[in-house]
Structure 1
Amino acid sequence: MGLILITFLAGCTQTGEKAGGNIKEVKLGLLVDLSGSLATYGQNEKHACEIAEEKVNEYFKEHNIPYKVKLYVEDTKADPKICLDKVQALHAIGVNAFIGPMSSSEVKNVKSYSLSNKVIFVSQSSTADPKILGFMSPEEKKYIFRFVPTDSFQGKAIGDLAKELNLKNVIILYRKDAWGEGLKDAIVKKMKDNGINIINIIPYDPQINDWSPIIQTLSDNIKDKGEDTGVVFVGYEEGATLLSQINDNSPILNHIWIGTDGVANSEKIIKEVKDKAVKVKLYSTMFKSESEAAKELEKIFKEKNYGNIDQYALNAYDAFWVVSLAYVDMLNKTGKYDADVLSNMIKEVTKKYSEGVYGVEPVSGYIELNEWNDRASGDYGIFMVTEKGWKLAGIWHSKDGKIEWL
C-alpha cells in the first residue's frame, strides 16, 4: 500500500514539473437539492462536500501534489429537468465530473447526456434499480456510479420491518417517479413474501399540493381496521405536508406508519409535524454504514452549527475524495480529461481509498462496487420520531435479514 501511495505521489510531482510547478485547478460539480423536497439532505451534502474540498486541498498541498479542487454547487430542487439544465451549464465551463445527482429521477434524466458527452457522475443517494432507470447493461452505466445500495435492499428491510412490527395489512402510498416506482415494487415483493396483505397501492404526483383526495382514500381504506394495519409512505419531505393536512382526529393517525430514506432524519418533519409523526412513529429506513472517521466529520458539523449529519452526507464526502484522487490519477496518466480512463480510475481508487492506501479513512465504511458501479450491499438503520426528535431504533442487517433493536 505504501508503494502504491509513493507511486501516486511521484506521478503527481512529475505532472507538476511538466506544468512548470504551477497549481492546476480540477473542477468538480455538486448537484444537490437545496430548496426542494430533499433540502434537508441536500444542505447536509453541500456542507460535507465543502469540508471535503478543504480537506482534499490540504492533502494535496501537504503531499506536494500540484492540483487544487474547486467545487461548483448547483441547486437542482430534485427536479430532473432543472438537474439536466445545471449539468449542461457546468459542463459548458469545463466541469466533466459531478457528485450527484441525489434522486433516481435526476439520474435517469442525465443518463443519455452522460453517455453521449462522456460526463462522470457519482451519486450519493440514488437507489433505484439500474434497469428501472433505463440501463440495459453495465456498459451503458459505465460513467455513472452510486455510493449507495439499490432499493432491492431497502425493499427487503421495509418488508421485514413490517413483519417485525406485527403488521398483517398495509396500504402503500408512493411517489410516482422512477425512484418511487422501483422502491414500491421492491416493497410489494417482500411484503408478499412475508405474507402481508396489501390493501391498496396509491400513487401520487410529486408536484402535489392538495392531499385531500389521497387522505380520503387512505381514510376509506383504513376505516375499521385494527392495529395490525399500517401505512407505508414512499416519498420525500412532502410527507410533512401530507401529515399537516390530516385532521388531528383522523383514524389514519391511529396506525403505524413506515417511511423510507426519503424522510428518515428529515428536519422538515420535526419542525412542521413532529406531534403527528410521534403519534404514527414514522419508522423510516436509511442505508447505514459509517466508520470511526465519521465521528470527526460529525464533530466539524457541530462546530460549524450545521446540525446532525446524515448517511448521504457521509457518502457525498467519500465520493468527493474518490473523484478528486481519481481525477488527478487520470491527469497524471493522460495529461487531459478522458472519461473512460477516469471511469476505470474511480473503480481502482474506490478500492484503494477503502483500504486506506492514501492514509485517509472512508467515513461511510468500506465501499465495494458491483458490476453496475453501485454499492454492492449494506445494512439499514431504522429511525423513528420521538418527543426528542429522530432516534435510531434499530438496524436491519442485510446478511441475514434480521433486525437488531437498540
Structure 2
Amino acid sequence: MTAAGVAVGLSIGLAIGFSYSGTEDASPGQAMMAAGPSGTIDIGMALPASGDLSSRGYENGLGSKLAVVDFNEYLEEIGADWRFNLVIEDTQTDPIIALEKIQSLNSKGIKLVLGTETSAEIRNVKSYVDSNGMLLISPSSASPALAIKDNIFRLVPDDTQQGRVIATLAESRGISVIIPVYRGDVWGDGLYKSTRSSFEALGGTYDDGIRYSPESTVFSTEAHLLNEMLGGYLEDRPASEIGILLVGFEEAIHFFNSASSYEDLASVQWFGPAPLANNDILLEDPIAAGFIEDIGLISTQFAATENPTYDHVREEITKQIGRAPNTYAFSAYDSLWLIGLSILQVQSDDPERIKGVLHAVAKNYGGSLGPISLNEAGDLTDSNYALYTVRDGEWIVYGIYKAKTGEITT
C-alpha cells in the first residue's frame, strides 16, 4: 500500500485511542509491550460473487480487501506481531449457500466474518453463528426483523429508517398513493412494512401491492397486474399523485423490461431502495436503462460523511471500477477496521471478547463512513440518505435526506 494509505491507517488507529492493555491512557507504543496475538489471523469474507447482488458483492469485497491491506500496514507501523489474512467465500446471494459457506469457514477455525450481504442470508445463518460462537459484521443487511442482540453486527441503519425516507420523499413530491412491488423475503417484507407505516402516518394511501418470489426472473404477469392496479387509481386522481415503489435486487432489470411495454406505467413517479441506487448493472440493459430514466426513478441509499478516509477508499475503489462505489463498500472497509481495532483492544481474536468492546470501539472510531454509533442491536443509528436518479445515462445524487431534521434537500 502507499504511504498515503499508511497515513490513513495511522490517523484512524491513533484517533480511536485504543490500547493493547485495555487501559484508556496507553499509547500504541506502550501497548505493544503487552502480550497478544501473533502470526496470521484468518478472517472470513462471505459475500456474493454471483447471484442477484453480485455487483454489490464485488464492490464490497473491494472495500474489505483494501481494508486488509491498510490495516496490515498499520499493524506493521505500530510493531504488532500479527497480520490479517482474508479467506473469501461466494455466497451466490443464496441463503442456503451462505449457510454452507459460514459452516465451511467455521470448520477451518475461522470465527470472524465480514458478511453476509443480504438479510435473507443473515436470517439463515444467524442460529449457526450464535450457537458456534462466531461473530459477523454485515455491510448491508438492513431488515428490521433482524435488529436484535446477537453475534451479528450490521454497519448499516435498519430499514425502519429507509422506509421513513421513502415515505417522506414520496410526500414531498405530492404523492398520495404508493403501489409497492416487492421481493418476498425478510428484507422485502420488512421494507414494505416500514414504508407502509411511515407513509400512512403521513396520511397517504399504501396499496397492498404485488409480492413476488425472489427466484422470479420473468415479470410479464406482475407488470400486467401492476398496470391494471394503476389504472384503477388513475380513474379518480392524476398520475402526478401516484407513485410505484419497486423493492428488489438486480432482478429489477427484468421487471423494468416488462413494465416498459405499458404507457401508463411510464406516466407516474417510481421509487427504489438502496440495492437499486447507483447500480450500473441496471444501466447495462438498454431497455431497462431507458425506462429507468423515463420514469425518473429515485432510489435511496444511506450516505457516508465525507472525510479523508472516505476520500482514500473512494479513490482506490474508483480506480478499479471506474466510478464511485456504493456506500456499502465503505461499510465493508470500516467493518474490518472495527474488528482489527477490537482485537488490539482486548489482545485476543476471541469473538466473545471482541463483541464485548465493539460498541465502545465503534463509538471512538472515525473511518470512511465518518463517525459511527451502534445501537443496542449492533446496527448503525440514524444516518443521512442520498437520493439517486439517472440523467443522461449516469447515476447522479439527486438530493439528501437529513436524519436530524427529517428534511430533503435537492
Q: TM-score, normalised by structure 1?
A: 0.89
**TM-superposed deviation, 1:348:** 2.4
- Is residue 384–residue 403 contact of structure 2 (8 Å, CA) maintained in 1? yes
Q: Which amino acid aligns with 1:340?
A: E
1:57 equivalent among 72, 97, 114? 72
The reply on whether 1:182 has 2:182 as its aligned counterpart is no
- Establish whether residue 242 from structure 1 lines up as the match of residue 255 from structure 2: yes
- Are 2:42 and 1:32 equivalent residues in the alignment? no
- Please state whether the residue corresponding to 1:223 is helix, strand or coil: helix
Does residue 244 of structure 2 align to residue 231 of structure 1? yes
Contact kept, 8 Å, 1:35 with 1:77, in 2: the verdict is yes
User: Judging changes above 3 Å, is the alpha-carbon distance between structure 1 residues 395 and 246 closer, same or farther for their aligned structure 2 residues?
Assistant: same
CA RMSD of aligned residues (A): 1.9
Match of 1:275 among 290, 305, 312: 290
**Structure-to-structure mapping, 1:6-405, within 5 angstroms:** 6-15=26-35, 23-129=38-144, 132-133=145-146, 138=149, 141=150, 143-223=151-231, 225=234, 226-227=238-239, 228-272=241-285, 273-292=288-307, 293-305=309-321, 307-330=323-346, 332=347, 337-354=349-366, 362-405=367-410
Shift of 1:372: 1.0
- Counterpart secondary structure, 1:262: helix
Say if 1:318 and 1:364, in contact at 8 Å, map to a contact too. Answer: yes
Alpha-carbon distance change, 67 to 306 in structure 1, aligned in 2, over 3 angstroms = farther
The question of whether the paired residues in 1 share the 8 Å contact of 2:115 and 2:139 is answered with yes
The secondary structure found in structure 2 opposite 1:86 is helix
Residues 98 and 120 of structure 1 are in contact (CA less than 8 Å); yes or no, is this contact kept in structure 2?
yes
Moved more, 320-329 or 280-289: 320-329
Check conservation: 1:274, 1:389, Cα contact below 8 A.
Answer: no
Q: What corresponds to 2:3 in structure 1?
A: none
Q: Which moved more, 1:7-16 or 1:36-45?
A: 7-16
What is the rounded CA distance, in whole Å, between the counterparts of 1:403 and 1:57 in structure 2?
A: 40
The answer to whether the Cα contact below 8 Å between 2:283 and 2:393 also exists between their aligned partners in 1 is: no
Question: SS of 1:147's equivalent?
Answer: strand
Q: TM-score, normalised by structure 2?
A: 0.89
| Superimposed CA distance per residue, residues 123-169 of structure 1 (whole angstroms, 9 cap, x where no aligned partner) | 1111111xx23x7x63xx1x111111111110100001111111121
Quote the Cα distance in structure 1 between the aligned partners of 2:81 and 2:138.
27
Following superposition, the deviation at residue 191 of structure 1 comes to 1.3
The number of residues matched between the two structures is: 382
CA displacement at 1:253 relative to structure 2: 1.7
* 1:33 CA drift (Å): 1.6
Work out the CA distance in 2 between the residues paired with 1:340 and 1:231. 44
Greater shift in the superposed pair: 182-191 or 345-354: 345-354
SS at match of 1:315: helix
Task: Percent identity, please.
Answer: 26
Query: Quick one: structure 1 residues 8 and 258, their matched pair in 2 at CA, closer, same or farther if it must change by over 3 Å?
Result: same
Report if aligned partners of 2:402, 2:408 keep a CA contact under 8 Å in 1: yes
Deviation at 1:59, TM superposition (A): 0.5
Query: What is the rounded CA distance, in whole Å, between the counterparts of 1:300 and 1:338 in structure 2?
Result: 31
Contact 1:161 1:403 in 2 (8 A): yes
Structure 1 counterpart of 2:178, which letter? V
Q: Which amino acid aligns with 1:14?
A: A
CA deviation after TM superposition for structure 1 residue 338, in Å: 2.8
Letter in 1 for 2:224: Q
Counterpart secondary structure, 1:78: coil
CA contact (8 A) 1:13 1:66 kept: no
In 1, are the aligned partners of 2:47 and 2:115 still within 8 Å (CA)? yes
Kindly provide the amino acid, as one letter, of the partner of residue 54 in structure 1. V
Q: Distance in 1 between matches of 2:214 and 2:25?
A: 47
Structure 2 residue runs of 5 or longer lacking an equivalent are 1-16
Deviation digits for residues 294-349 of structure 1, max 9, x if unmatched? 1121111233345321100001100011112212433x2x5xx4332110122222
Deviation per CA, 1:192-233, whole angstroms, max 9, x where unpaired? Answer: 112222234210000002211101110101126232111101
- Which runs of no fewer than 5 residues in structure 1 stay unpaired? 355-361
SS at match of 1:395: strand
What is the CA distance between 1:6 and its match in structure 2?
4.1
* CA apart distance, 1:249: 4.6
Amino acid at match of 2:111: N
